[in-house]
Amino acid sequence: MDKLNQWLSLVANLGVIVGIFFLAFEIQTNTSAVRSATYQAFTDSSFSWADSEIENASALVKIYEKESFDELTEEESLLLNRVLFKAFSVMESNYLHYRAGTMDFDMFEARMSGSVGAIALRPLWREYFDTTTILLPEFKQFLRERVEQANTP
């Protein structure tokens, strides 16, 4: 009987080890699927934002020549607010995906460098960023620090 218990214990332990390997494989597969979905969502939202800029390119060229929202017509202000809402929503989404571990560091850094550059170089983007209340405070603080670093020689 003791021999049988030893064999059953060995088989049970092997079953646990095989189960752990199977679980690790499933977690890896799930992580890959989540990352793929994240990148697809990023691509979709980026294309939506880019389409907005393409469709309104001639108006945006004129808008970006101005230094402040005070200089914009009501129509220009509405257009720019909608375009920047999309842009900042994409940035915030990237931040949240990175923070959750579903976006790789290099992808996140590449996206953030472009975003920070736009805020640092375009006065209207900076004004929108400084005055908007739609962003999570944690993300807004993170982005503020990145912009300040970009502006520091």
For residue 118, being part of any structural domain is answered with: yes
For residue 7, being part of any structural domain is answered with: no
For residue 32, being part of any structural domain is answered with: no
For residue 36, being part of any structural domain is answered with: no
For residue 20, being part of any structural domain is answered with: no
Q: How far apart are alpha carbons 137 and 92 in whole angstroms?
A: 11
**Structurally, how many domains does the chain consist of?**
1
For residue 23, being part of any structural domain is answered with: no
For residue 5, being part of any structural domain is answered with: no
Write the secondary structure of 88-127 as one string of H (helix), E (strand) and C (coil): HHHHHHHHHHHHHCCCCHHHHHHHHHHHHHHHHHCHHHHH
Query: pTM (2 decimals)?
Result: 0.72
Quote the pLDDT of residue 42: 66
Average pLDDT over residues 26-39: 70
Q: How far apart are alpha carbons 76 and 69 in whole angstroms?
A: 9
45-103: pLDDT as tens digits: 777 777 888 888 899 999 999 999 999 999 999 999 999 998 899 899 889 989 988 88
Average pLDDT over residues 116-132: 93
Q: How far apart are alpha carbons 111 and 146 in whole angstroms?
A: 12
Q: Where in the sequence is the domain holding 112, given as residue range(s)?
A: 41-151
For residue 34, being part of any structural domain is answered with: no
User: Which among 56, 91, 90 is positioned nearest to 76, based on CA atoms?
Assistant: 56
